Chains A and B, each alone.
Chain A
Amino acid sequence: MTRETKINSTNENNPENSLIAAEYVLGALDASARADFMAKLEQDPALRAEVVYWEDQLAGFGLQSPPVTPPASVWRGIQMQTGVRNPGKRKRRGLRRWAKCTGIAASLAVMALVATLITLSSEHKPVQVVASGAAPSAQESGALGALPDSFQPQPSAIAWSTSAPKNSLATVKTPADHPDFVGDLQDYASNVGWKVAGYNARGALQVVATGTPYTRLWEPTTLELWLMPVNAYEQPIALGLLPVSGERILPIAKYVAPEFYTDYNKLAVSREPPGGSKTGEPSGEILFMTTLKLASDN
């Protein structure tokens, strides 16, 4: 691309190879032709050099797009996945903010749990809080259930009641009941993934496993869901353990109230020891991350 590193086309005696290499780099080859080309590529150093030549030249196309500074949350996500830290940056402040944040979160969690228990005890018929008949222990041990092909909020999965207080998990789910936010955690290569839908008023986060049970890839392990901060000095908030299959309802209290979207806007999944992280933040590898989408954006 640059003058001092300019790569020359090496296949001038074989213009056909040079053309196919250009088409490969451009992305014009269909799947079959691409596979054939990649097989040849492994055997032919001259062809690889031709690919490098075109990658170098065509990078100039990409530079035609005006640069855009990405949000700070991207770097935070990279740090979480790679373990790279900002050397010495705001460590003490971060710890204070973390303590404050997790203190609030813990208080809210307790309030939500108490509200739920009060509601449950006051109902004529107890409602199902962890849905789909999949108890956490069964899910974490790798029990397989029906795998939904696509996510739809399941009215039957949560025994909503019209008379229940707003903060309870127990209210009736109606056709007009739409999530306030959604998230899509997917690994297209392994077909492991979850659809997440949040209902702020009810303090409920619905998590549905949508593909291959993750234990087929990472057994034995536990995966934990986190709400991730925009700013690197804030700390993630634990939301709960993910189901291997089927659906799980996690209490979110007011963690993800609208004002939170500006400070916490991503979901992440980390690999953790049984029962979840013992440190209050992701302690294992971050396997998934996605940006929350507000229902009002759709």
Chain B
Amino acid sequence: MTESEQIAEWLAATAQGDERAFQKLYHATSAHLFGLLLRILRTEDNAEDALQDVYVKIWQKAKTYEPARGAPLSWLMSIARYRALDLLRRRDPQGSMPEDPNIEALVLEDVHSAGPQANSETMQTLSAIDQCLHALRPEQRRGLMLVYYEGLTHQELAERLEIPLGTAKSLIRRGVIALRECLQGGE
């Protein structure tokens, strides 16, 4: 059974109220979600509170997952990230977080930074996205990372990078197009 199949099975059991499956799902996936939440929210307290919210939601909404929604870990990561962005926007609706000086370092991290908890399937995913990120122009890569990890809108990205709004939009769009071409080319 692959990692995705196992997570999907736990999700299906969780949807039926299986507490043991939910516990296994938590222990298998929470480190990935917590790592992402820490990266976005920056403090352990905020990330812990958000992680708790996320798994309560997963417990309540597990039945809404279906394979057509994508890989189960992707679905879980999306729930966590949307929650983090929601918290960022509620707490600072007008502004945005200060730029993390390590944002470029993060992008350029070797895929092995995923650590021992990442299995071969996760490593495969990381490798694909890593290759495509490195294929982007540096400014596109930086723009996408700022938007993804800091929840910046086009306008906020323009202010952060001190560039016109149109240039910021173009930067993201060109980055997205290049990323899509690369990802679909690797299938």
- A86 interface residue per 8 A CB criterion: yes
Sampled A-B contacts (13; CB under 8 Å): A9-B184, A27-B148, A28-B152, A30-B155, A55-B78, A59-B71, A60-B128, A64-B126, A66-B115, A69-B34, A81-B56, A82-B56, A290-B49
B117 and A74: CB pair below 8 A?
Answer: no
Interface presence of A92 (CB below 8 A): no
Bound complex: CA of A2 vs CA of B45, how far in Å? 31
Interface size on B, residues (CB 8 A): 80
8 Å CB interface, A253-298 against B: 289-291, 293
B75 touches A55 (CB 8 A): yes
| Any A CB within 8 A of the CB of B36 | yes
Complex interface: chain A residues within 8 A of B111 (CB): 64
CA distance A64 to B115 in the complex (A): 10
Partner of B52, one of A29, A55, A60, A78: A78
Of chain B, the residue at the smallest CB distance from A85 is: B19
Min Cβ gap B30→A in Å is: 5
Given A67-B117, A78-B59: A19 in contact with B176 (beta carbons within 8 A): yes
A180 lies within 8 A of chain B by Cβ: no
Of B26, B35, B85, B145, the contact of A67 (CB 8 Å cutoff): B35
A36 to B108 CA separation, bound complex (whole angstroms) = 35
**B31 engages A58 (CB within 8 Å):** no
List residues of A (74-113) whose CB comes within 8 Å of B's CBs. Answer: 74-75, 77-78, 81-82, 84-87
B48 touches A70 (CB 8 A): yes
By a CB distance below 8 angstroms, the chain B residues around A5 are: 4, 67, 70-71
Q: How far is the CA of A291 from the CA of B48 in the complex (A)?
A: 8
Partner of B35, one of A30, A65, A71: A65
* Partner-A contacts on B (CB < 8 A): 2-4, 19-20, 22-23, 26, 30-32, 34-36, 38-39, 44-45, 47-49, 51-52, 55-56, 59-60, 67-71, 73-75, 77-78, 80-81, 85, 87, 90-91, 106-107, 109, 111, 113-115, 117-118, 121-122, 124-126, 128-130, 144-145, 147-149, 151-155, 157, 172-173, 176-177, 179-180, 183-184, 187
**In the complex the two chains form, what is the Cα distance from A293 to B180 in whole Å?**
43
Q: Which residues of A contact B44 (CB under 8 A)?
A: 291
Q: Does the CB pair B124–A2 fall under 8 Å?
A: yes
Whether, in the assembled complex, A4 has its beta carbon less than 8 Å from a beta carbon of chain B, the answer is yes
Given the known A-B contacts A1-B70, A27-B152, A28-B147, are A62 and B32 also in contact in the complex, defined by CB atoms under 8 Å?
yes
Residue A18, interface by CB 8 Å: yes
In Å, the complex CA distance between A222 and B67 comes to 42
What residues on B are CB-neighbors of A4 within 8 Å? Answer: 2, 4
With both beta carbons as reference points, the residue of chain B lying nearest to A286 in the complex is identified as B56
Q: Does A124 contact B (CB under 8 A)?
A: no
B156 vs chain A, min Cβ distance (A): 9
Q: A2-B2, A70-B31 are in contact. List 8 more A-B contacts (CB 8 A).
A: A5-B70, A19-B176, A27-B85, A27-B151, A59-B71, A77-B48, A78-B52, A188-B91
A203 shortest CB reach to chain B, Å = 25
What residue in chain A is nearest B109 (Cβ atoms)?
A64
* Cα–Cα distance between A84 and B19 once the two chains are bound (Å): 6
What's the minimum C-beta distance from B148 to chain A, rounded to whole angstroms?
Answer: 5
Instruction: Convert A9-23 into 0s and 1s, putting 1 for each residue whose CB lies closer than 8 angstroms to a CB of B.
Output: 100000100110011
* A6 at the B interface (CB under 8 A): yes
| Contact status B70-A66, CB under 8 Å | no
* Minimum CB–CB distance for B135 against chain A, Å: 14
Nearest Cβ on chain B to A25's Cβ, whole angstroms: 8
- The answer to whether the Cβ of A61 comes within 8 Å of any Cβ in the partner chain is yes
Q: Are B32 and A63 in contact (CB under 8 A)?
A: yes
| CB atoms of A63 and B77 under 8 A apart | yes
| Contact between chains at B52 and A59 (CB < 8 Å) | no
Query: Nearest chain-B residue to A82 (Cβ)?
Result: B59
Give CA–CA (A204, B36) in the complex, Å. 37
Distance, CA A64 to CA B130, complexed state (A): 8
The chain B residue sitting closest to A87, CB to CB, is B20
Contact check, B187 vs A6: say whether CB atoms are below 8 A apart: yes
A7 to B172, CA, bound (A): 22
Q: Is A217 an interface residue (CB 8 A)?
A: no
